[in-house]
Structure 1
Amino acid sequence: MLLAGDIGGTKSNLAIFSSEAEIRKPVLEATFPSAQYSSLEELIHTFLSQNDVRVEAACFGVAGPVIEGKAKVTNLPWELDKERLQRELKIPAVHLMNDLDAMAHAIPLLEAEDVYTLNEGQPEAHGTLAVIAPGTGLGEAFLTWNGTRYQAFPSEGGHADFAPTNEAELDLLRYLWKRYGHVSYELVCSGKGLPNVYAYMRECTPLKEHAWVTEQLDAQGDHTPLIVQAALDVERVSERSQAAVSMLVAILGAEAGNLALKVLATGGVYLGGGIPPRILSYLKEEQFMQSFKNKGRFAEMMTNIPVHVVLNPKLALLGAACRGFEI
C-alpha cells in the first residue's frame, strides 16, 4: 500500500493506493485543513488511525522547495524531513517532492475529461511539456522525453522578475516595486498576487467598486476568492474586479508563453493550480492567447503550441502517487 499526499498551506489531500494500475481509484482518501495540525506527522497519524491499513511507502508533494530530503512548507510552520517521517510514522520508504514536480508527474496520466483546450495547436510527438500553476503561489515545471517516458523537472520560475508588456503593467510594476523592491511573477499572477493587482486598480485607476465588495474586502483576510467572485458576477458588475482578473489573465498568458519559449514546449503547455478552472470564462477570451503568442518573430511558432487548462483538482495527488510507485 502506498500513501500519497498533496501538502499545501491551506489544505492537505491524502490517499492510499493499492497499485499503479489503479492509480485513479484510491482505496482511501481524505482532505484535512493543514493549519489545524502542528506537523505533517500529526496529520498523517490522524489519517492512519482512522483506517486500519499498513502503509509500505509514502510520497508527498510539498508546496515549497525540497532539498536533500528536507522541506519547509510555504505558508505553514512545518519543517519536513523524510528520515524523521520514516522513523515516526514507521513507514519503510518516504519521498518528498516539490508540488509542481508532483503535478508534472501526473500530466501524462491526464485524460480528455481532465482538461479544457484553449489552443489545439500542432503538438510534436514526444515534445517537451510545460506546466504553469497559479494557486496560492505560482509554480512552474516541465517534462522532457527520455526515450521511453516523460521525466519531470521542477523549478522556481514563478519567482523570476516580472516583465511588463504594456503601459498599464509597467505602472503596476512601479507601484509594487515601491512596496516590495523585487517584483516576481508570483506577486502579480497567483492567489497572493491578485490582491496586489486589485490594490493597484484601487489606488491608481478611476475604476469604481460596489460598496458590498469593499465592505467584504475590509472584513475578510483572504481577498482573492471575493475578487474572483465579484469579477464573475454578471448581475452586479464590478469593473475593478473584472479589470484585476483581466490583467492577471494577460500576465499569465505572457508568462506561460515565456515558459514555453524557455523549454521549447512543442508538446504543449498545461495550466494547473486552483485559479485557472475558476476563471475559465476569462481564459477563453482572446486576451490570454494574444498575450501567449505575442513573442515577436516567434509568434507563428507559439500558435502551434497546444495550451490546456487542467480541470482535475487532484493533479498533484496523482503525481505524488505516480512518483511513489517508482520508489
Structure 2
Amino acid sequence: MQNRILVGDIGGTNIRFAVAHRHASGLPSLSHIWRAPANDFEKFSDALACFLENTTGHDHPTQAVFALAGPMDKDSVSLTNKDWTVRRSDLISRFGFDRLVFMNDFAAMARSIPELSDDAFHNIQLGHPGESLSPLKTISVAGAGTGLGQALLVGDAVKGWSVLPTEGGHQPFAPLDDYERQIQAYLNAKYGYVSFELICSGRGLEVVYDAISAVNGITPADLRANDVTQRAKSGDMTAQDTCEFAANALMNFIGNTVLASGSWQGAVLAGGVSQHLLPYLSKPSAIERFTGKGKMESRMARVPLRLLIDSTAPLIGAASSS
C-alpha cells in the first residue's frame, strides 16, 4: 500500500470515507473521516464527489479500497439493502483512480479485528480457549446492522490474515423453545422464509416487535428500529421482549457459526444493532443461546466472545487489506 489511500465503508444506511496512512509499525491510521446518510444521495458517486470536494479537494489519493454491503461481481456491486449499483469502471473514469479495489463491507469489518486495540471491544464472555494445535487461528465474526453479516477470519503465521466472507445471515432461523416457535410461526405466515437476518437486523427489530405484539394480543405501534431500542430503555415491556428475543437469536447465530467453523480461539459480534443490544447480550438467556450446544456446551463456554464497538473498524479493515 502507498502512504495514502482512500478508504470507504458503504452500507445500506450510512456511508463513511477516510484517508488511510501507513506508518512504520504497519498499522494504518485515519484522517479526513467523513460520514453521511446514504439516503442523502441519489447514487454512490455523488456521495464520493461530496466527500472529495469537502475534504481532500483535488489532492485526493489515486488508490482506493471501498468496502460495500453487497455480493462482489467482477466490475460492480449491487448493494443488498440499497438500490445502488456501483461500477469500478465508472468510478475510475470519473475520479481518475490508478487502482480501485472493491471488497465486501463485512469482510473489511472482520479484517480490522487483528489491527485494533483491546479498547475497541467489549467482552461478553472472557473464555479460556487454551493453546491450539492447529497452525491456523480462526475467529468467527457476525454483525447485525442494516443486514446480518458473517465472515471467518483466518490467521496464518506465514501468510498473515485473510477473510472468508459468507452470506450466512440468510440461513433459516432455528427456534429453541415454545415462545420462539410462536414468533417464528407468525413470521413464517407473513414472510414465508424466516432467516436470522430477518430477526437480528435493524429491520428485524421492527418485524419482531410486530410479531411479539400479535402473539400477545397487543395492537402493535408502527415503530422503527431506533424507536424500539429507545422504548426498551424507557421500560416498554414489548420493546424489551423484542430486544431480548433479537439478542438471543443473534447469540444463537454466532454460536452456530463457531460450531460450523471450529473457531474455538474466539468470536466477535459487530454492527450497530449489536451495539444497541449490548444490555441483552450478556443476560443468562443470551449466554445460554451461545453456549448451549449439546455435547459442545463445555467447549463453547471456553470460547472468548467480544463485541466490536469501534465505528471506524471497516475503514481500518479496508486499509489493511490493500
1:88 maps onto 2:94 in alignment: yes
Q: Partner residue of 2:155?
A: 145
1:224 maps onto 2:220 in alignment: no
Task: Tell me the CA shift for residue 23 of structure 1.
Answer: 5.2
Change in 2 beyond 3 A, CA 1:303/1:116: same
Assess if the C-alpha contact under 8 Å between 2:9 and 2:315 holds in 1: yes
Measure, in 1, the Cα distance between the counterparts of 2:138 and 2:29.
28
SS of the residue corresponding to residue 31 of structure 1 reads strand
Measure, in 2, the Cα distance between the counterparts of 1:30 and 1:22.
23
Instruction: Report the TM-score, using the length of structure 2 for normalisation.
Output: 0.91
Measure, in 1, the Cα distance between the counterparts of 2:320 and 2:103.
12
Measure, in 1, the Cα distance between the counterparts of 2:281 and 2:230.
15
Residue type of the alignment partner of 1:191? G
Alignment counterpart, residue 69 of structure 1, candidates 68, 75, 80: 75
Query: Considering only aligned residues, what root-mean-square deviation do their CA atoms show, in Å?
Result: 1.7
For residues 87-131 of structure 1, give each alpha carbon's deviation from its aligned partner in whole angstroms, at most 9, with x where no partner exists: 221011111111111111101012111111111112345531011
**Equivalent runs, 1:42-81 vs 2, <5 Å:** 42-50=46-54, 51-52=56-57, 53-81=59-87
Alignment counterpart, residue 208 of structure 2, candidates 194, 197, 214: 197
SS of the residue corresponding to residue 289 of structure 1 reads helix
Assess if the C-alpha contact under 8 Å between 2:81 and 2:147 holds in 1: no
1:15 maps onto 2:25 in alignment: no
Unaligned runs of 5+ in 2: none
Q: Partner residue of 1:259?
A: 257
Instruction: Report the TM-score, using the length of structure 1 for normalisation.
Output: 0.90
Instruction: Indicate the larger mover: 76-85 or 302-311.
Output: 76-85
SS of the residue corresponding to residue 226 of structure 1 reads helix
Change in 2 beyond 3 A, CA 1:69/1:323: farther
Assess if the C-alpha contact under 8 Å between 1:104 and 1:153 holds in 2: no
Residue type of the alignment partner of 1:4? V
Q: Partner residue of 2:115?
A: 109
Q: Partner residue of 1:5?
A: 8
Alignment counterpart, residue 168 of structure 1, candidates 174, 179, 188: 179
Instruction: Indicate the larger mover: 223-232 or 47-56.
Output: 47-56
Task: Tell me the CA shift for residue 263 of structure 1.
Answer: 0.7
Residue type of the alignment partner of 1:230? R
For residues 269-296 of structure 1, give each alpha carbon's deviation from its aligned partner in whole angstroms, at most 9, with x where no partner exists: 1010001222222112212211101100
Measure, in 2, the Cα distance between the counterparts of 1:62 and 1:27.
20
Identity of aligned pairs, percent?
A: 29
Q: Partner residue of 1:185?
A: 196
Q: Partner residue of 2:239?
A: 241
Unaligned runs of 5+ in 1: none
Assess if the C-alpha contact under 8 Å between 2:147 and 2:202 holds in 1: yes
SS of the residue corresponding to residue 127 of structure 1 reads strand
Instruction: Indicate the larger mover: 175-184 or 35-44.
Output: 35-44
SS of the residue corresponding to residue 267 of structure 1 reads coil
Q: Partner residue of 2:144?
A: 134
Change in 2 beyond 3 A, CA 1:151/1:228: same
Measure, in 1, the Cα distance between the counterparts of 2:240 and 2:168.
26
Assess if the C-alpha contact under 8 Å between 2:72 and 2:104 holds in 1: yes
**Equivalent runs, 1:264-283 vs 2, <5 Å:** 264-283=262-281
Measure, in 2, the Cα distance between the counterparts of 1:145 and 1:323.
13
Assess if the C-alpha contact under 8 Å between 1:195 and 1:224 holds in 2: yes
1:36 maps onto 2:47 in alignment: no
Measure, in 1, the Cα distance between the counterparts of 2:213 and 2:80.
28
For residues 193-218 of structure 1, give each alpha carbon's deviation from its aligned partner in whole angstroms, at most 9, with x where no partner exists: 11111111111115x68xxxx7xx44
Residue type of the alignment partner of 1:180? Y
Task: Tell me the CA shift for residue 84 of structure 1.
Answer: 2.0
Measure, in 1, the Cα distance between the counterparts of 2:83 and 2:207.
24
SS of the residue corresponding to residue 116 of structure 1 reads strand
SS of the residue corresponding to residue 176 of structure 1 reads helix
Task: Tell me the CA shift for residue 315 of structure 1.
Answer: 1.4
Assess if the C-alpha contact under 8 Å between 2:66 and 2:102 holds in 1: yes
Measure, in 2, the Cα distance between the counterparts of 1:266 and 1:22.
27
Change in 2 beyond 3 A, CA 1:259/1:199: same
Q: Partner residue of 1:122?
A: 128
For residues 153-173 of structure 1, give each alpha carbon's deviation from its aligned partner in whole angstroms, at most 9, with x where no partner exists: 110000011111111111111
